[in-house]
Structure 1
Amino acid sequence: MSTSPSAPRGSTVNPALATPTDLSPDGVAAIAAQLRGLLADAFALYVKTKNFHWHMSGPHFRDYHLLLDEQAGQVFAMTDDLAERARKIGGTSLRSIGDIARHQRLRDNDEDFVGPREMLAELAADNQELTRLLRAAHDVCDEHRDVATASLIENWIDEAERRTWFLFETAGRG
């Protein structure tokens, strides 16, 4: 069973929720913490992408609107896998909007107006930062020999790199 005494809230697993795993308790705590951060970042990126999707304007509205909707769907699709992976290894996941806010590293954008190219450039930078965070989480998985989580992360890195590429090309050359 996986518990981590004196760990921050969310990394100690109630015995009723503990899932058997062959990963060490330290590995579970470290990997679950990475997954919680990634999950919070995925939710933050999803909401920002939808925000920009909803508030898009200008002559390329339709193309940008559709691109951001597609990308938001892809980011949202990560969330269940991130949360469930934390539970599969004996860790815990996020519990609330407040929990997301405490763990997210990507910044929100609450501006009244953001121009289309600025939206695309900001999302490209956020996806690039998510790629960096995913690579760091992959390193933690490698350290604790969690190949299953590492494998999922490798796919998400590829998806984030693709989103970055599309946003960069659209903002920088569109």
Structure 2
Amino acid sequence: MQKRTLAAFVIITIICFFHSQLHATSAEIRPSSGKELCSALTAAEFTKAGITFVSANNFNIDNDSSAYCSYNTNTGIVELDIFYPAGDTPDGVLATERTVWAEVGGKFEPITIPGADSAKINLAVPGKKPSASIAVRKNTAVFTINIPTNPNVKQELLTLSQTILNRLPSSSPSHK
């Protein structure tokens, strides 16, 4: 009887551990969280989008509200730039969004993503290596994802964007 009790305890402990890990991948993104902003996407979320995650490559943090994150994947380097909050005022947030479009370059086309206040996609980013990018705004958060071009790039960008949108709070911190 003692062995059964111990076995049941071990099984329940393992189930609880995996359940907590599942929910750990969907933690809410906190504003002004510095390097934590680069945790907006996890290895499991890359896999769900159809991208094989290899490793975190480089995280550059300008300040607690802006992070430039790159990841090694099977398609090459994926870059996530996230600004949260993206400005001190609504106009500041919109200015950050416009800056993102200009920095990436090329022609962005509007696209609808549930939960986004604004989203634009560019499937032909200019540069040496063919890539595609999406820029998304929700409340005071602005982010862009850049992925090397491949046959599934549009769906990968949409899936990763939706993942981040789902992890952002439904309301953002108020402006100063």
The reply to whether TM is greater than 0.5 is: no
Structure (1 or 2) with the greater helix fraction: 1
Structure (1 or 2) with the greater strand fraction: 2
